[in-house]
Amino acid sequence: MASPSSDLHFILFPLMAQGHMIPMVDIARMLAQRGVLVTIITTPLNANRYKSVTDRAIKSNLKIQVLELKLPLAEVGLPEGCESFDLIPSTALVVKFFDAIAMLEEPTESMLQRLTPAPSCIISDSGLPWTTGLAKRLNIPRLVFYGPGCYTYLCIHIVANTRILDEIKSDSEYFVLPGLPDRIEVTKPQASDWPKRDSKERMEMFQRIEEAGKAAYGIVVNSFDELEPKYVEEFAKAKDKKVWCIGPVSLCNRSFLDVAERGSKASINEHDCLKWLDLREPGSVVYVCLGSLSYASTEQVIELGLGLELSNKPFIWFIRETNEELKRWLLEEAYEERIKDRGLMVFGWAPQILILSHAAVGGFITHYVLKIGVRIGAEVPVSFGERDNLKVMVKREDVKIAVEGLMNDDEEGKARRKRAKELGEMSKRAMEEGGSSHNNMTSMIQEISEEVAKNNKPFQDYR
């Protein structure tokens, strides 16, 4: 007898951004390993970025196919090639990018109607609210994908659905965010940045996402139950939905190539990177990466570099993009020469999972209440749409103090690293057979199978 998953056909529709695309490709492989037929829908450029990984999966007899849709860029006034958030030349064009994505609804529906076997379920990013109407017309469930975890989205839900910010008059005063299992203090600007609704377009977009989320069948999260148990529970209550934590999905990458080629092509040879790390003491290196969509002013990048230099700790520093001003500073100050004995700079894309899984890496600077981090950063956040107005928000001394706090061998530093190591081991167990994430994936597939059987209506009726 066939397993419940062998008759299922999942449609995965990621948002066109590397931090959203990469885990969705991982999820596709995880589903296919359970016998599910998976179709990933994306644009030609994004399909090409992950082609080596998906091709290897297909060659290993996993039932995955990638279908491409052309973004109507010219129709909304975007230049050719703007198929991913990291390729948008100006923040003023972000809304147009979302407009172009929304125009994919009709061609997507036409494509899905022609697929055999018929789709059983859609997993789509929360930023693609129109896929809810699509799923409804096809009489199949839609699951919303959330990447950052339940904690983040519970905070967003609370801010968006209460009047707490209306009661706060000061921008600098810290207040306790209500409805959370832990005492979390934030300022009004920090909390306001989560569901950013400072324009008519943003407000409408957020409302569409909220309404689509209410209509979704359930929620898939790239987290694991043991990491944030109270937040998983509270998030499910807040959304009144079943929440399946099936991560960290990056751990599905077992081969060197799958780990090294996760995302864009790395701007450093993977083997050279490992050789550099092999020369360092275990737990001694700080990895610095602000994400594929994070931007900082040239002055802030320089300040970060000087702070890393001041810390006197070994580091790998990923810089997403450079401009002439930064190149000139690096050259004139001979920065790379100064730090060459203990620092490695990576420009463009870094093989992040490969780096983080190396024994030499002991700390990670990036953009919770897990007792594994050191607070560093701006008191007033700068959102993605405001990156053109960036300035220095974090001083070099702050960077130095934070790195030392993270890497020093005092009692607090040791406890922090011990806790991080324990969470790492917990994450691996969660993904293994019998672990919480593995079981949640089984539960999700089973429930979708039962839902499909319950509907049990010919696909042709919905064409």
Write the pLDDT tens digit of every residue in 78-95.
Answer: 999 999 988 888 777 888
pLDDT digits (tens, 9 = 90+) for 102-153: 999 999 999 999 999 999 999 999 989 999 999 999 999 999 999 888 998 9
In whole angstroms, give the CA distance from residue 103 to residue 273. 41
Is the peptide bond preceding residue 248 cis, with omega within 30 degrees of 0? yes
Is 266-408 assigned to CATH 3.40.630.30? no
Neighbours of 92 (CB within 10 A): 10
Predicted model pTM: 0.80
What are the boundaries of each domain within the chain? 4-69+104-255+428-457, 266-408
Hey, do 4-69+104-255+428-457 and 266-408 end up sharing a CATH topology, with the first three levels equal?
Answer: yes
In whole angstroms, give the CA distance from residue 438 to residue 435. 5
Beta carbons of 337 and 343 less than 8 angstroms apart: no
Q: What is the CATH number of domain 4-69+104-255+428-457?
A: 3.40.50.2000
In whole angstroms, give the CA distance from residue 62 to residue 57. 6
pLDDT score recorded for residue 380? 53
Catalytic residues: 20, 125
Q: Is 434 exposed, middle or buried (0-12, 13-18, 19+ CB in 10 A)?
A: exposed
**101 closest CA partner among 120, 82, 115, 79:** 82
Residues of the chain falling short of pLDDT 70: 1-6, 193-199, 254-269, 290-295, 364-367, 369-393, 456-463
Residue 418, helix vs strand vs coil: helix
Q: In the structure encoding, which two tokens stand for residue 148, read together? A: 């950052």
